A and B are shown apart, each in its own frame.
Chain A
């Protein structure tokens, strides 16, 4: 480790590392403590965006200002995570709704009650054949 870094750089990188560690810890703590899956989804998404974002920015700053190397791998990782985290959270929520609809007893119902239905009498699109009330005109062909 290079110990000749300026004090300001050390301060900034240390603050970002501590921030990232705290957010990762809080996200996983929420994963343990919150009552049902729909609530539990909140915790790790914050850990992904803020926690890992802070750690990756700390890495960029450290390698740029203390070591003199310009690397963009970290930014690639954070951009990739920012793009993919909502998609995987959406997929997990879809599986949860799908299994709730089919009365899987192991799935936990939120204290706020089940998810409200979308307008038009349809169900949330998880895995369902097109039926009356499905938006779009692909019924009957």
Chain B
């Protein structure tokens, strides 16, 4: 049963990533693209956690935690750059 649920989760997150990619290319504004990138990071974290459950190893979660931090810093620095023309003032 876990295998089916994992397959469903992989499929759902894969389709979600494809939808985010569509929004990333379509735009129209640069804020839409930042939001699409942020959502892609969220979905990839979900994929990493699913991979961790599927493989039964706990090492995937360091990657998930790192990606959560780097994704947040990336989103905020991109938004900060657009707001102020600079990242660290």
Contacts and interface: CB of A to CB of B under 8 A. Distances in A.
Contact of A32 (B19, B62, B84): B19
Interface in B15-36: 15-17, 19-20, 22-23, 27-32, 34-36
Interface in A1-52: 1-2, 5, 10-11, 13-15, 17-18, 20-22, 24-25, 27-29, 31-32, 37, 40-41, 43-44, 47-48, 51-52
Contact of A108 (B28, B36, B46): B28
A24 B46 contact: yes
Interface residues of B, number: 55
B11 interface: yes
Contact of A21 (B9, B68, B79, B82): B9
B43 A55 contact: no
Interface of A: 1-2, 5, 10-11, 13-15, 17-18, 20-22, 24-25, 27-29, 31-32, 37, 40-41, 43-44, 47-48, 51-52, 55-56, 58-59, 62-63, 67, 69, 71, 73-74, 76-77, 80-81, 84, 87-88, 91-92, 94-96, 98-99, 104, 106-108, 126-127
